[in-house]
Amino acid sequence: MILDRAAAFFFLATLFSVTFEKVHWEVAGSVSLADVLALLFVLTFIATRWLDHDRRLTRTALVSLAFALAFALVYLLGFFNLDTRQALEQFVKGLVKFGIHFTFLAAGIAYVVRRGVDFYWRTLGWLTAGLVVNALYGVAQLVVANRGGDLDRSVLSPITAGASSINIYGAVEGQDVYRPNALTGDPNHLAIMLLIPLLALTPIYLRLERGNPWRLRLALLLPFLLVMELATLSRSGWLGLIVGVLVLAVPYRRLLFSRTLLIPLGAVVLLVGVVVARRADFFDVVLRSRFETSGASSSAHFDVYGFVPDVLQLHPLFGLGLNNFSVYYEFVTGRTNWGPHSFYVALIVETGLIGAALFGAFLLWMFRRLGAARRLGRRLAAAGDPLAARVRPLAWGLTAALAGTMAANAFYLTMQFYYFYAFAVLALTAPVVFARARA
């Protein structure tokens, strides 16, 4: 059916482009490519189900809709704490984004469960492919920038009519220090987004059988993504990676010193070592600055936590209003259009204690669904089902990716972006899809 094929195309295209933050246009506000594709997917999905006279939704999709209604109620109650026109405009923008995100989440869950195991792997594959393209663009950014050019100005600006560029961290002895942000808006965003394929695919790679073509592909892909993770110079990304690796070290501690892992990891160490050794003084200055805790950059990440008690005294239950931290920040500091350097600060400041507790319940639900996927994997292994060699590593990888993303968001706020809801589709559908495959 044409509509069903269109729905599949728009869904996978959304996943592929969901991390392309720079690909957007200023039309009645900022409209991204992912916005357009996600809406087209939702419309074609609804049309397909309507024409098929199929009104059924899986329990997981219904629970996601229940969370959406609960969040909407909290946001609408926070509406009464708005007191300026600017605050209202920011609230409306945030509400529209929230609506698209959760509609995509619910429709995506229903669609992936309906399509089954093969489509689930395609979903994971297309999300990963988008991040690989992002990383490749980041490499090209670095090459062009070191030659004195600007890839964004040459490639993206003619398409989006907007301004963007590679991040310049500073200069050492008159030479610029570049941090690739690729197609994302910030090098830290790129680093945190890369945690998903790095952590989700590593345990799958470790359990692949010899002779499986994906073993070699992942042995090449994962080191490349790790190098890009390091190239971002993102402390938040590195923190998330460490937390995710610690999670994976619990079930895979016996494989930490296996050839399967040490060979690609050794290649990364060798490559990075050669690059650093050629410019030792340069990298010594750069890395020292990244690990300083008393600089202005570090202070900005920690200082925002000081706003939490002040806001809770004003509006403890429902906060200042959705998407309104920048308005409050401008009022206090005079800096315009400035978001908090922490997802959790934004969550508490904008939605209060009730909103924070509700989002905590949403994250707990995600962990519980991943726990169900891990238990399913154990049952499959006990039954001698070969599917266990895919389900258990996938479940542990997604758990590590979620834990790593949460840790990284202590100092950044990517969990309100599209890609996190694409990741949530994978996390929430895993136990359902593979349980049905077993049945």
Higher per-residue pLDDT: 11 or 185:
11
pLDDT at 16: 97
Distance CA 367, CA 40 (A): 30
Which residues sit opposite 31 in a β-bridge?
25
* Domain count for the chain: 1
**Nearest to 238, CA basis, from 252, 226, 249, 251:** 226
E strands, 159-255, in order: 167-172, 175-179
**Range picked from 65-74, 375-384, 385-394 for highest mean pLDDT:** 65-74
Contact 104, 42 (CB under 8 A): yes
pLDDT at 276: 84
- Confidence band of 301 (pLDDT split at 50, 70, 90): low
Counting residues of the chain whose pLDDT is more than 90, the rounded percentage is 54
What global pTM score does this model have?
A: 0.93
pLDDT at 341: 77
pLDDT, averaged across the chain? 88
Q: Where in the sequence is the domain holding 17, given as residue range(s)?
A: 2-438
- Confidence band of 337 (pLDDT split at 50, 70, 90): low
Q: Is the pLDDT of residue 208 over 60?
A: yes
Higher per-residue pLDDT: 278 or 6:
6
- Rama region for 148: left / alpha / beta (φ>0; ψ in -120 to 50; rest): left
Which residues sit opposite 175 in a β-bridge?
172
Q: Is the pLDDT of residue 296 over 60?
A: no
Site of tokens 């950059």? 297
**Range picked from 52-61, 94-103, 172-181 for highest mean pLDDT:** 94-103
pLDDT at 384: 86
Q: Mean pLDDT across the stretch 390-419?
A: 94
Q: Is the pLDDT of residue 71 over 70?
A: yes
Q: Mean pLDDT across the stretch 256-284?
A: 85
Please give the DSSP secondary-structure letter assigned to residue 209. Answer: P
**Nearest to 324, CA basis, from 93, 29, 87, 79:** 87
Q: Mean pLDDT across the stretch 362-369?
A: 97
Contact 194, 229 (CB under 8 A): yes
pLDDT at 306: 76
pLDDT at 332: 57
230-245 tens-digit pLDDT: 999 999 999 999 999 9
Q: Is the pLDDT of residue 385 over 90?
A: no
- Confidence band of 170 (pLDDT split at 50, 70, 90): confident
Q: Is the pLDDT of residue 197 over 90?
A: yes
Q: Is 410 helix (H, G, I), strand (E, B) or coil?
A: coil
Q: Mean pLDDT across the stretch 363-367?
A: 97
Q: Is the pLDDT of residue 299 over 60?
A: no
Q: What are phi and psi of 175, to 5 degrees?
A: -105, 125
Distance CA 236, CA 240 (A): 6
Distance CA 413, CA 416 (A): 6
pLDDT at 247: 96
Contact 418, 38 (CB under 8 A): yes
Q: Is 208 helix (H, G, I), strand (E, B) or coil?
A: coil
